[in-house]
Structure 1
Amino acid sequence: MGDMAAATRTAVRADVRSASAAGRGDDLRARAEEALRLAGVDPGAATPLASHVAEQARLARDWATVCVAERAAGVAAMQQSRLDVAVERLRAAVAAGRRAGEPTRTGEARMSLAGALLLTGHPGRSLREIDQACAELSGLAAARARVQRAAILQDMGRLDAALDDLRHALRVIRRAGDAQWATRALSNRGLLLVSRRELVAARRDLTEAAALCEAHGLAVAGALVEHNLAWVDAQAGDVPSALDHLDRTTVLFEALGLPLGSVLTDHAELLLSVRLVDEARELAEAAVAANTRDGRERHLPESRLLLSTVALVQSDLDAALDAALTARREFVHLQRREWATLADFASLQALTAADRPVTSARCRRVADALEHAGWIVPALEARLLAGRVEMSAGRTTAARRDFARAGRARHTGPADARARAWLGEALLREAEGRRPAALSALRAGLRVLEDHRATMGATELRAHVSTHRGEIAGTGLRMALEARDPRSALGWSEWTKATATLRRDARPSSDPVLAQLLADLRSTTESIGEDREAGQPTGTLVARQVALERRIRDHCRHASGGDATVRPPTVEALAGLLGDHALVAYLEVAGHMHAVTVVDGRPRLHHLGPAERIRHSVERASFALRRMARGDARPASVEAAGALLAQSCAAIGADVLAPLATAVGDRPLVVVPVGWLQSVPWSALPECADRPVSVSPSATHWHAAASRPASTGGRRAVVAGPGLDGALAEARDIASLHPTAALLVGEDATADAVSRAMDGAALVHVAGHGRLRADNPQFSALMLTDGPFTVYDLERIATAPRHVVLAACETATTAVVAGGEIMGLSAALLAGGTATLVAPVMAIPDIATASLMASYHRELVGGHPPASALRRAQSRTASADPAAAAVAASFVQVGYGGPEN
């Protein structure tokens, strides 16, 4: 498309030169009409032609042609966001039309001027101009003016009047066969219908508009329709489809030279909806900058308002309040009352988050205004806030009225709105003393969100969208703790932990686009390493790496979902698989730690104390382990680190395990930690000295892993990555313990070979470099001969290996996103179906790892199940030097660690 536009511009410039040579003998009126046609499809080509024709027509005192040419120049300037120029040229067009005594030409120029005035933030003047245009025009021209007036009325919040204009205008435009204006009318009506939540009708209008653009070569209009289709899908909650439309929109806008501010804003809003907050902040700031640079005053406050919301989610409360107040002033200046109300709500949220006083009356006023404007989800939030303010003041009757109003929307609208409405209904029922009914409402809200999440194919999107369920699940957990109900507490706590990865639909290995992108990423990463070693600059290659990662991420986000999420198991289901093991699930609520134990089918609830005290001990233990594992520290430093580790582990054990001693005794443990407890060196705790420990991100994960049948193929593989002195020897030693194992080392340890070896294997051991990417956990990787083997590579394996050992740094560590979901290498393996994973929670020296790993595999060959095998191997290594002892303590067994079922 960009090449076609360039060719058109070249041809037009040649035409301009020939026009200069031919002088007044040319048909100026035809050239003016051509410039006007080009203004909407190729503004860069239209501008020089329109300016030349206007100049020649003035010399000839042909004011009607001047009117058309100046209008063409003004429309082209609008397309290029040169709004001051657009207003100037369009005023000149109106003046020329009046001078020519042609009301039709004058009215058409007023139409364009009205659009420019709206974009510069003058809706009142814009409406006056378009009203005058409607009075001056008749027939098809009047219908076009009504389409323009509908857009202005829609922007001012007068939706019924806008819809009436569009209905009347479309009848005339369709009869006349005017494809360009039919496209504009359908696109505008589609947006209007979205605001009225009539999404099926909106998509029908936009699909018809897209077909007209395709049939008639309306490139600019087609790009705008593509953008609007993204908006419809976003409002319907179809995130993968919306992302797909936005990607195509960006390509089209860039090719046509159209301003990107509104596209950036919508993209940021969509990412925020699934809580990809850092990316959303980056795009929102870019949108503010783009709209400021392009002088798009009408769009600027929208991007600023979104920036306020993102900053609020990030707890940047000063930035959130400042952006909201600025956006409100700008909306008021533009006379956009409904949007000013939305900015009021943003200010209210920022004040509440900062613990600054707000009144229930103000919350209700904002909720009423939002409801009137069609902002469904914000209106529900404001209504819930009003109810909470009343509850905190002890005014339960007023609070119940607010909660009741919020609950009315629980059967209609987008998933967010229905879920928030169910939360309001739950709070109402709780206020009325109907606790079972309140819990039923919370479960209904969760079902809405889980059904919505199931439509998303990308693990990343499912993980982040889980944030929305946090408040609902947290409310249920609070009620369970107040009732001292361990069974209910365990069930609700599972909804605050990782479940998104349980239903990954593997992207098939036959996806050629993803395969090529991953191969390109490995090649680029390898080249970066080579250039760094040679002392060469790597800036260009790093930029390519970033671009490739973005393309891989976006490609995978477009995948659609599949079956619904696996539901948390009952206590009875867990007990049936636990046998003589004890399950310990940790909960964090309002700054305090609790635990639910399940032993012999009996659940018990335990209060453990302040979370901050335990967190501090965990951080100290992790620091001590890292210091001990370095191997190059001074003896005094190592001794101090050993003492700190012993002290910290004793404190952790006293807080999280000693209070459970009566319930769990000396049984093997299945531990379900909260996110920050995942780095605990469980084997180093005094209470775990002689017992196996399995760790799982959720009881649901453990139950799924324990339920998987044993692998029947028996294939094994041992892999050694590059760059580690001890990896090759470790791999060969371990392969010798498994005589049938495939050994992949050196040039054989490529991504394709490792993928094939892993597919359906009973056991895979990888010794090599591991890299945790906190900025983007999906690019956490194992380093192989041909480059990084990422989470995306793991997700392409059709059947995940049953038992995986990763002797690579931090590979048991996962990134925990809001909502309790996990992302990273271990999460990908668990998602694919790996039942057992053994890996470290910190960086480890390879030499100190080899003996532990060899001992572990000998125990496996000797018939011990994974958790017991790791415990026995760690016990043997504990008496070695401090570095080896620290490495041993850092390994954990994740998932199912019992005997093959």
Structure 2
Amino acid sequence: MSPLRDTTKAIYDCGLGKEAGIESSPAEALRLATVDPARARVLAVRAESAARRAGDRAAESVSQRALGVAAMQLRDLDGAVTHLRRSVAAARRAGSAQLVGEARMSLASALALRGLPARAFREIEAARRELDGVSAARALVQRSAILLEMGREDEALESLRPALPVLRRAGDAQWETRALSNRGLLHLARRSFAAAEQDLVAALRLCAEHNLELPRAYAEQNLGCVKAYRGEVPAALEHFDRAEEHYHRQGMRVGSLLVDRASLLLSVRLVDEARATAEAAVRAYESQKRMHLPEARLLLSTVALVQGDLATAESAAAQAAREFARLGRRNWVALARDARLQALARRHPERVTPGQVRRSAEALAQAGWTVQALAARVLAGRLSLERGRLAQARTDLALAGRARAAGPADSRARAWLAEAMLRRADGNRYGARRALAAGLRIVEEHQATLGATELRAHMSAHRGALARLGVRIALEDGDPHGVYAWSERGRAIATLLHPLRPPADPQLAGDLADLRATVTELEERRGGGQPATALLHRQITLERRIRDRWRTFTGSSGAATGPPPIAQLAAYLGEAALVEYVQLDDVLHAVTVAGGQARLHTLGPLTAVLHNLTHLPFALHRLADARTAPANAAAARLVLERAGRVFDDLLLRPLAPVVGDRPLVVVPTGALQSLPWSILPSCAGRPVTVTPSATLWFQSARRPAVDPAGSVVVVAGPGLPGARTEADAVAALYDAPLLLTNGAADAAHVTAAMRGATMAHVAAHGQPRSDNPQFSSLRLADGPYTVYDLEMLSEAPRHVVLAACDTGRSHVVGEEVLGLTSALLSQGTETLVAPVVPVPDGETAPLMQAYHARLRAGNSPAEALASAQEHSRAEGGLQLAAAAGFVCLGAGLRAGSSR
């Protein structure tokens, strides 16, 4: 979020009403212009026509002014300027200095919004000479808003001081609301958050008392910005949602709200959504010819930079700088030029010198952009370090480090990163590690305040640079304990935080039920070749409403538990070995813990693994399709075997002298999260459990073992060949299981049955969603059962088997994972067995039956799955394809487990 935002929502105009002596219809239109602009426009057109027929120039002036003010609210700025110039002309013909002043005051607003602040200021100064009393106070409020647009905050605040008492004494609620909203923006620009919130809450109270719908939207939006600056993301989202509802009722799509929302989404690193929202803001401003178009372009540049779209980042920033210069907004020019320099430094680092970045940092600081100046100082310091200029690097990084005690969480974390870099450059490696730990604590504590899992996961991007530097220092020191600890601090924190279980929310529950019904009907219509556009739009609307509502829930206080020491971890591993993979600069490393000792290994580049991972799904698809010709199936099997050998050669064979044939606890990184480990020759028949973090495995492994006599639920979803056969076979292995099939396999029954169950087995269609992993789902009788449904469980099942395609595949965000698996693990499920690739429908029953039979015989989950997969491998064909993709996730191995 930038210190000064699009303040156009504070610039709106109000009429004088009946006290000016104008007949009621024009006055009523003017009164409604900022409350209900569409209705006001209808009334004003009628009133203007009647006034011209009657030769009533005064009424004509007021009518034209109402049309102009309404046009401003509806974002028709060219029309607004035209109507307001006509209003001034009519007022002059009427011989009324008062009406001239009022019309010029409104014209000043339109010109400011139109990107002509100098002309706007001349108009408002001329208007003030025509007005007195309450009208003069209103002109002062208008003048303050224009000064705010021009970046003259001190003068803007001073302009409001004499205006507010006059407006209060006159009982002018609309203009008092506007003055309070503008003053709230000024306090926000000065980072006086308490004062800003006090003014905006007072403005909201006036809006509620006087039924001021549009001003209420402005105040809600501004209050959302205050919350965003404080790092209160759920509260900010809630205020933005309320503002959007008010705007929607007025038929308005407001560019400034898009900018604010995109900034907030970017702050929690929801970059894809932020990009789409920023682009929508640019389009909205381009169509409205508004002066805040360059702000939207600048935001788009920032988002593109985070995404790595450096060409767009550079071009958008350069264009924004030119547009700010034309508007005379010098402070913003400094910001846009720095954004271009940041993109250029990433795109063509040889063309950027530390001196250029240093001068940019100084310009930003002079313009009041303290957070951005900090980032520029860090960049200057990094460039100096890379080029061997240690003295200058120390100066830059020391200046950047001063901001570590105040400001937003991400800014303080970046300041601690600068401090760590400085200490490392000075040879103080211990001090560097302490600085990194301080920065991580700030981010983790902020992350814990977020309730929504996706927000927590995406916020992990702020930990990335801190944790990576910690890993780098530990690798330089050859310290396996340090590499393990810093790697753990950078991964799967969202899964480790206290799970969010939102309060009973009838609206949310109703929307989820409605979504299931909508998707079911949509699929039926598509299957029948019927049009389904309306249902698709409804699905999109419901998904957004559910997502936005969930994001407003707050999280717990306090950061996640830190990683356990190696000695504790080794005690719980017993005879098993742990392998934690760490990627740095495209090179893969591993920390092994076996026999009570930790060792560090450098494995090599990931290129071959990533290449073969792209071919793996195609080969498994072919093997899983009964219609595949024998020759093609044989070729696919060769691809599968070759990929397994490539993975094995990099990932496990170099570790063989240490881990031997021990059972494995594997902590993957990045793309390895979707690896089907059973296809590696070294994993054939070996118990392997995969976990997002060693810390999560350790926490689960310490819990009492699952009671084999506990409650068991088996679910057969619709439309999956063999699901009922599989469910019957699995249920037959247990005493008194609850079997849910046909209509009973719906969301309500499944939720009730899974709550606190010892074992839950679901044979159903699975649908992973990369666009929004929280809508990844299992197909039940009444529609998709999403991650959101799972997160509403008051108590998760202890052991879950998902015999559904791709349900074990997670969406990776940095070192965080999102999807069905992470939802269950974060809610307390200890062990999860699921496929990370497509599996053939109807062919998993033998594998699942063998798995459960071995569990009943006393094997651990990892042992049971490895043994069942080994048997299926011998069968070949579809049985091989069905077995290959399944992975045991979570605490599938416990202390004392053996092969």
Q: What residue in structure 2 maps to residue 22 of structure 1? A: none
Range with greater deviation from structure 2 (272-281 or 764-773)? 272-281
Q: What residue in structure 1 maps to residue 608 of structure 2? A: 613
Q: Is residue 417–residue 435 contact of structure 2 (8 Å, CA) maintained in 1?
A: yes
Taking the aligned partners of 1:679 and 1:388, their CA distance within structure 2 comes to 34
Range with greater deviation from structure 2 (324-333 or 33-42)? 33-42
Residue 731 to residue 108, structure 1, CA distance change in 2 (3 Å): same
Q: What residue in structure 1 maps to residue 812 of structure 2? A: 816
Q: What residue in structure 2 maps to residue 333 of structure 1? A: 326
Select which of 503, 514, 517 maps to 1:520.
Answer: 514
**% identity of equivalent residues:** 53
Select which of 194, 212, 220 maps to 1:218.
Answer: 212
Letter in 1 for 2:698: H
Letter in 2 for 1:291: Y
Query: 1:30 deviation in Å?
Result: 4.2
Q: Does 1:413 align with 2:407?
A: yes
* Matched ranges for 1:243-258 at <5 A: 243-258=237-252
Q: What residue in structure 2 maps to residue 669 of structure 1? A: 664
Alignment partner of 2:844: what SS?
Answer: helix
Q: Is residue 156–residue 337 contact of structure 1 (8 Å, CA) maintained in 2?
A: no
Q: Deviations over 1:571-629 (max 9, x none)?
A: 22312311111110001100100000112332211000111123224444444333323
Query: 1:502 deviation in Å?
Result: 2.1
Q: What residue in structure 2 maps to residue 191 of structure 1? A: 185
> Which 5+ residue runs of structure 2 have no aligned equivalent?
1-19
Range with greater deviation from structure 2 (846-855 or 591-600)? 846-855
Q: What residue in structure 1 maps to residue 696 of structure 2? A: 701
Q: What residue in structure 2 maps to residue 845 of structure 1? A: 840
Select which of 793, 797, 802 maps to 1:806.
Answer: 802
Alignment partner of 1:410: what SS?
Answer: helix
Q: Is residue 259–residue 294 contact of structure 1 (8 Å, CA) maintained in 2?
A: no
Range with greater deviation from structure 2 (366-375 or 63-72)? 63-72
* Matched ranges for 1:727-806 at <5 A: 727-806=723-802
Query: 1:899 deviation in Å?
Result: 4.9
Taking the aligned partners of 2:25 and 2:313, their CA distance within structure 1 comes to 51
Alignment partner of 2:661: what SS?
Answer: coil
Q: Deviations over 1:204-263 (max 9, x none)?
A: 110001101111222221111111111111211111111111111111112113342211
Alignment partner of 2:598: what SS?
Answer: strand
Q: Deviations over 1:50-99 (max 9, x none)?
A: 44545555666655444433333322222222222222232233344445
Select which of 302, 325, 344 maps to 2:295.
Answer: 302
Alignment partner of 1:351: what SS?
Answer: helix
Q: Does 1:454 align with 2:441?
A: no
Q: What residue in structure 1 maps to residue 893 of structure 2? A: 898
Alignment partner of 2:468: what SS?
Answer: helix
Q: Does 1:641 align with 2:636?
A: yes
Q: Does 1:362 align with 2:356?
A: yes
Q: Is residue 508–residue 798 contact of structure 1 (8 Å, CA) maintained in 2?
A: no
Q: Does 1:598 align with 2:593?
A: yes
Residue 422 to residue 243, structure 1, CA distance change in 2 (3 Å): same
Residue 171 to residue 27, structure 1, CA distance change in 2 (3 Å): closer
Taking the aligned partners of 1:142 and 1:368, their CA distance within structure 2 comes to 40
Residue 28 to residue 177, structure 1, CA distance change in 2 (3 Å): closer
Q: What residue in structure 2 maps to residue 877 of structure 1? A: 872
Taking the aligned partners of 1:72 and 1:724, their CA distance within structure 2 comes to 63
Letter in 2 for 1:532: R
Query: 1:449 deviation in Å?
Result: 1.1
Q: Deviations over 1:451-503 (max 9, x none)?
A: 11111111111111111111111111111111111111111111332120222
Taking the aligned partners of 1:118 and 1:60, their CA distance within structure 2 comes to 33
Letter in 1 for 2:508: L
Query: 1:369 deviation in Å?
Result: 2.6
Range with greater deviation from structure 2 (780-789 or 342-351)? 342-351
Query: 1:868 deviation in Å?
Result: 0.9
Alignment partner of 2:608: what SS?
Answer: helix
* Matched ranges for 1:715-730 at <5 A: 715-730=711-726
Q: What residue in structure 2 maps to residue 580 of structure 1? A: 575
Taking the aligned partners of 1:47 and 1:189, their CA distance within structure 2 comes to 29
Taking the aligned partners of 1:39 and 1:679, their CA distance within structure 2 comes to 57
TM-score, normalised to structure 2, is 0.94
Range with greater deviation from structure 2 (854-863 or 547-556)? 547-556
TM-score, normalised to structure 1, is 0.93
Select which of 323, 332, 339 maps to 1:346.
Answer: 339
Q: Is residue 324–residue 344 contact of structure 1 (8 Å, CA) maintained in 2?
A: yes
Residue 723 to residue 900, structure 1, CA distance change in 2 (3 Å): farther
Query: 1:884 deviation in Å?
Result: 1.0
Select which of 42, 46, 65 maps to 2:40.
Answer: 46
Q: Is residue 685–residue 869 contact of structure 2 (8 Å, CA) maintained in 1?
A: no
Residue 258 to residue 631, structure 1, CA distance change in 2 (3 Å): closer
Range with greater deviation from structure 2 (568-577 or 721-730)? 568-577
Taking the aligned partners of 2:861 and 2:538, their CA distance within structure 1 comes to 42
Letter in 2 for 1:557: R
Range with greater deviation from structure 2 (875-884 or 617-626)? 617-626
Q: Deviations over 1:526-556 (max 9, x none)?
A: 2122223322222222222222111111121
Q: Does 1:182 align with 2:146?
A: no
Q: Is residue 187–residue 228 contact of structure 1 (8 Å, CA) maintained in 2?
A: yes
Aligned Cα RMSD in Å?
A: 2.1
Query: 1:673 deviation in Å?
Result: 0.5
* Matched ranges for 1:151-300 at <5 A: 151-295=145-289, 297-300=290-293
Letter in 2 for 1:345: D
Alignment partner of 2:600: what SS?
Answer: strand
Letter in 2 for 1:123: P
Q: Is residue 37–residue 74 contact of structure 2 (8 Å, CA) maintained in 1?
A: yes
Residue 141 to residue 656, structure 1, CA distance change in 2 (3 Å): same
Query: 1:201 deviation in Å?
Result: 1.0
Q: What residue in structure 2 maps to residue 19 of structure 1? A: none
Taking the aligned partners of 2:648 and 2:288, their CA distance within structure 1 comes to 60
Q: What residue in structure 1 maps to residue 5 of structure 2? A: none
Taking the aligned partners of 1:636 and 1:88, their CA distance within structure 2 comes to 75
Select which of 311, 315, 322 maps to 1:322.
Answer: 315
Taking the aligned partners of 1:847 and 1:48, their CA distance within structure 2 comes to 64
Alignment partner of 2:732: what SS?
Answer: helix
Residue 811 to residue 57, structure 1, CA distance change in 2 (3 Å): closer
Residue 727 to residue 867, structure 1, CA distance change in 2 (3 Å): same
> Which 5+ residue runs of structure 1 have no aligned equivalent?
1-25
Query: 1:146 deviation in Å?
Result: 1.8
Q: What residue in structure 1 maps to residue 14 of structure 2? A: none
Q: Deviations over 1:751-770 (max 9, x none)?
A: 11111111111111111211
Q: Does 1:857 align with 2:848?
A: no
Q: Is residue 701–residue 894 contact of structure 2 (8 Å, CA) maintained in 1?
A: no
Taking the aligned partners of 2:46 and 2:615, their CA distance within structure 1 comes to 75
Alignment partner of 1:879: what SS?
Answer: helix
Taking the aligned partners of 1:582 and 1:280, their CA distance within structure 2 comes to 42
Taking the aligned partners of 1:38 and 1:195, their CA distance within structure 2 comes to 30
Q: Is residue 719–residue 745 contact of structure 1 (8 Å, CA) maintained in 2?
A: yes
Q: Deviations over 1:397-456 (max 9, x none)?
A: 111111111111111111121111111111121122211111111111111111111111
Range with greater deviation from structure 2 (487-496 or 83-92)? 83-92
* Matched ranges for 1:419-438 at <5 A: 419-438=413-432
Q: Is residue 157–residue 373 contact of structure 1 (8 Å, CA) maintained in 2?
A: no
Query: 1:306 deviation in Å?
Result: 1.7
Q: Is residue 274–residue 461 contact of structure 1 (8 Å, CA) maintained in 2?
A: yes
* Matched ranges for 1:357-506 at <5 A: 357-506=351-500
